[in-house]
Amino acid sequence: MSDDVKKAVACLLFGGSRKSLPDGVKLRGDINVLLLGDPSTAKSQFLKFVEKTAPIAVYTSGKGSSAAGLTASVIRDSSTREFYLEGGAMVLADGGVVCIDEFDKMRPEDRVAIHEAMEQQTISIAKAGITTVLNSRTSVLAAANPPSGRYDDLKTAQDNIDLQTTILSRFDLIFIVKDIRKYSQDKEIASHIIRVHASADKVTDENTDSKEDNWLKRYIQYCRSRCHPRLTEAAAMKLQQQYVKIREDMKRRAHETGEAAPIPITVRQLEAIVRLSESLAKMRLSHDATEDDVGKAFKLFDTSTMDAARSGINQQINITSEMANEIKQAETQIKRRMGIGARLSERRLIEDLARMGMNDSMVRRALLIMHQRGEVEYQRERRSIVRKA
């Protein structure tokens, strides 16, 4: 998942191609990315990196940001008593990136204020006799936590993603970042953090780091100013077929479960894949976005937004507190029955736990949740289960 987030951040930094249609309508080329998930999963570190690497960047926190602070405000001069405009973060970062941390902590009315800025890339002002339109051609990289603080697998996706569909549809990529308990991964992370703290006082070659950052910043600036890729005919045809397939798949799933997906798949998502394809072509200074670029863009879109849209779809009924307790008990018994690295037939495991008085469906649901967390892995066409963590 972290590699996919890095790819998404790279696409955001390079951006797609901005287009102007004959009727004057402008299509945005900037890419918006949302990182939603558990605390301490390095979401803010991505934001800090982008702030340092992007040619133009503004970092802000959702808790301390108002609608006027993000868009623009009208202020009266104390000496002349005349009104004048003062641009907010979205205006100041025109042509760059706005990093918004704690996006979920923003007041709903403040989040609504950036709807126009994120899609139309303009900010319309009509205050104190001043009527004007400001440019806000920016990418938005936002980080947020679920309402309960952590992503809860026992809740539906709608409960975990407590944001309006109107704002979600404006993000090209939405990543659900979970803190998965995995021995090898935990050991690697702990080793890295301890190594960082242990060598904190040692002299580092700051000049080398600054040169590398400066080189990357200049390369991004060069690509954004000189290269404006377009889709080839073959890539456009592949994109059309894949988009129709995704819409049909989401329609079928919604019909099976009886509820709409928490993240809508609309024409905006089609445009998002176009921008991702163009961004991938721009990275290598190519003026043509090929079928390969479209394939990579779809893969990135599938591991982010589509995974988020599919999350919770298998939960066809609301989970009561009693059911949640049963699932937790089933998880405990599964872990007792299977040590890390152990392999067991799914049917045998369910039969063993059923003899202990556990409900079959609750055991299956517990296995599904553990599989989503990466704690167990299905093998041999789901006939056997391997405990991973």
Instruction: Quote the CA–CA distance of 95 and 215 in Å, as a whole number.
Output: 19
Q: With the C-alpha atoms ordered 100, 136, 18, 49, is the resulting torsion angle positive or negative?
A: negative
Give residue-wise pLDDT tens across range 239-266. Answer: 999 889 888 887 777 666 555 565 667 7
Question: Given this chain, do its domains 2-180+207-226 and 321-387 carry the same CATH topology?
Answer: no
User: Facing residues of 60 across strands?
Assistant: 100
Of the two residues 67 and 346, the one the predictor is more confident about is 346
Strand-pairing partners, residue 135, are 122
Q: What is the pLDDT of residues 19-45, one digit of tens each?
A: 888 888 888 889 999 998 888 888 888
163 Cβ contact partners less than 8 Å away, ≥ 6 residues apart: 104, 111, 144
Position 116 confidence tier, pLDDT thresholds 50, 70, 90: confident
State mean pLDDT over 105-112: 82
pLDDT tens track for 12-22: 999 989 888 88
> How high is the pLDDT of residue 23?
86
Position 7 scores a pLDDT of 93
Tokens standing for residue 309: 């849209």
- pLDDT of 240: 92
* Residue 356 parent element (H or E): none
**Coil, strand, or helix at residue 27?**
strand
As a whole number, mean pLDDT of residues 186-213 equals: 74
360-372 helix and 346-355 helix, angle to the nearest 10 degrees = 130
Burial of residue 160, with CB atoms counted within 10 A of its CB: 0-12 exposed, 13-18 middle, 19 or more buried: buried
- Does the pLDDT at position 205 exceed 60? no
- The pLDDT of residue 155: 64
Count how many residues are written for the chain.
Answer: 389
Domain range 2-180+207-226, CATH architecture: 3-Layer(aba) Sandwich (3.40)
**Rounded mean pLDDT, 202-228:** 77
- Whether domain 321-387 has CATH 3.40.50.300: the reply is no
Q: Which residue has the higher pLDDT, 125 or 317?
A: 125
Q: What is the mean pLDDT of the chain?
A: 83
SS3 321: helix
- Residue 153 clears pLDDT 70, i.e. is over it: no
Specify the pLDDT at position 315.
Answer: 43
More confident call, 349 vs 113: 349
Report the half-sphere exposure of 129 (CA within 13 A, side-chain side): 5
List Cα–Cα distances, 249 to 223, 235, 309, in angstroms.
36, 21, 11
pLDDT at 62 over 90: no
| Whole-number pLDDT of residue 291 | 93
Q: Which of 84-93, 157-166, 336-345 has the lowest mean pLDDT?
A: 157-166
Q: What is the pLDDT at residue 369?
A: 82
pLDDT at 50 (0 to 100)? 92
Read off the pLDDT of residues 220-245 as tens digits, 9 standing for 90 and up.
999 999 999 999 999 999 999 988 98
Q: Classify domain 230-310 by CATH architecture.
A: Orthogonal Bundle (1.10)
191 pLDDT higher than 50: yes
Q: What is the mean pLDDT of residues 203-231?
A: 79
The domains of the chain are located at: 2-180+207-226, 230-310, 321-387
